[in-house]
Amino acid sequence: MSTPFRERNPVIIGAISLTAVAGLLVAGFRAQDLPLIGGGDTYYAAFSEAGGLEPGDEVRIAGVRVGQVDDLVVEEGRVKATFTIKTDSAFGTDTGAAIKVKTLLGDMFLALQPSGEGQLDEGAEIPLERTSSPYDVVEAFEGLSETVDDVDTEQLAASLTTLADLTRNTPEEFRSALDGVSRLSSNIAARDDQIQSLLVNLERFSSVLDDRDEDIIALMRDADVLFRALVARREQINALLVSTSTLSEELTLLVRQTRADLEPALREVDGVLDVLNANGENLDESLRLMAPFYRVFANTLGNGPWFDTYIENIPPVPDVGNGLPLGVN
């Protein structure tokens, strides 16, 4: 028989509860290492410098977060970054890596640049020749300080004084030109999105042209054949055009010369047409009545250059001399 919960040792129950809470806390802080919650495939990348990258920074592919940086160590004068990827997206064996700026406050992220066929093996290292680091601002300012130390301040001051003297008497046209250039640059900056869209469309257009280069070449070849045929037939086409022009001139001359003769003839034809139009009903009736006669006539003469005729109800003529009917031997 089991012991009721209230009668059990509270010390043991408390110890078990504290152990369970501690385990949950550890699991919460190390959730990314758990096989079901965290995990992923581990890769390495070699950089010439860290460039501000730190453990915990994001790993992105095409701007999408796919993992994080786990560790950074210095080995043989280079930085070796360990990062974990958890994604179904494939990236080839020639994939590169770059450290890029995430925010203006200096946050960085590791950007993978997929390339090549297949899939990069788990645990593989991206070599130094396929990685790039951002420009170090600290080194830039150090180089600037060294450059400033080498600058001849007196000569620089004299140059600025000369430049001020020259611009003091600048013509109004030159100032207007500078103002126009400033406005032009402002307009270009304000239309950055449209320019970007134009560049994207130009890239798509060039891609389409690149995909259809064979068709364009074939079209040019066909056009070349057509132009060669036109050049070869140039004399024939020219002769045809000249003959057409000559024919037109001859027809024009013929009409001019026969106009006096054609006018009476056309007038007579017009009179004939008036007569026909006036007797149209009579002509229609005549044609209707002649149709049966033409049908019988055609049937009679349809056997050749002779025709057979049968006359009914006419008695034979008697042969008075021989006492026999005509036609009886």
Lowest mean pLDDT among 25-34, 146-155, 201-210: 25-34
Last residue of a domain, one of 209, 232, 255: 232
User: In this predicted structure, what is the pLDDT of residue 267?
Assistant: 77
Is residue 113 domain-shared with residue 178, that is, in the same domain?
no
pLDDT band at 69 (very low <50, low <70, confident <90, very high): very high
Is residue 117 domain-shared with residue 189, that is, in the same domain?
no
Is residue 76 domain-shared with residue 120, that is, in the same domain?
yes
Is residue 48 domain-shared with residue 129, that is, in the same domain?
yes
In a domain, 296, yes or no: no
Q: CA-CA distance, 65 to 102, in Å (whole number)?
A: 12
In a domain, 70, yes or no: yes
Residue 210 structural domain: 171-232
In a domain, 239, yes or no: no
Is residue 130 domain-shared with residue 47, that is, in the same domain?
yes
Phi and psi of 268, rounded to 5°?
A: -65, -40
- Identify the DSSP state of 206: H
Q: How many residues does the chain have?
A: 329
> The tokens of 282 are what?
């009579």
Longest CA–CA span in the chain (Å) reads 173
pLDDT in tens, 259-306: 777 777 777 888 888 888 888 888 788 878 877 776 776 776 666 666
Count how many domains the chain has: 2
58 and 110 in contact (C-beta within 8 Å)?
yes
Beta carbons within 10 angstroms of residue 133's beta carbon: 18
In a domain, 221, yes or no: yes
Is residue 49 domain-shared with residue 119, that is, in the same domain?
yes
Q: Which of 154, 175, 176, 179 is nearest to 166 (CA)?
A: 175
In a domain, 198, yes or no: yes
Rounded to 10 deg, the angle between the 213-232 and 234-257 helix axes is 50
pTM for this model (two decimals): 0.35
Last residue of a domain, one of 203, 232, 261: 232
Q: CA-CA distance, 298 to 291, in Å (whole number)?
A: 11
- pLDDT score of 317 more than 60: no
Query: Which one-letter amino acid corresponds to residue 29?
Result: F
- The more confidently predicted of residues 307 and 205 is 205
Strands (DSSP E) contained in the chain are: 41-47, 58-61, 64-75, 78-85, 96-101, 108-113, 125-126, 131-132, 318-319, 324-325
In a domain, 243, yes or no: no
Cα 145–chain centre separation: 51
User: In this predicted structure, what is the pLDDT of residue 135?
Assistant: 61
115-121, Cβ contacts within 8 angstroms, sequence gap of 24 or more: 115/91, 116/92, 117/92, 117/93, 118/90, 118/92, 118/93, 119/90, 119/91, 119/92, 119/93, 120/43, 120/91, 120/92, 120/93, 120/95, 121/93
Last residue of a domain, one of 213, 232, 251: 232
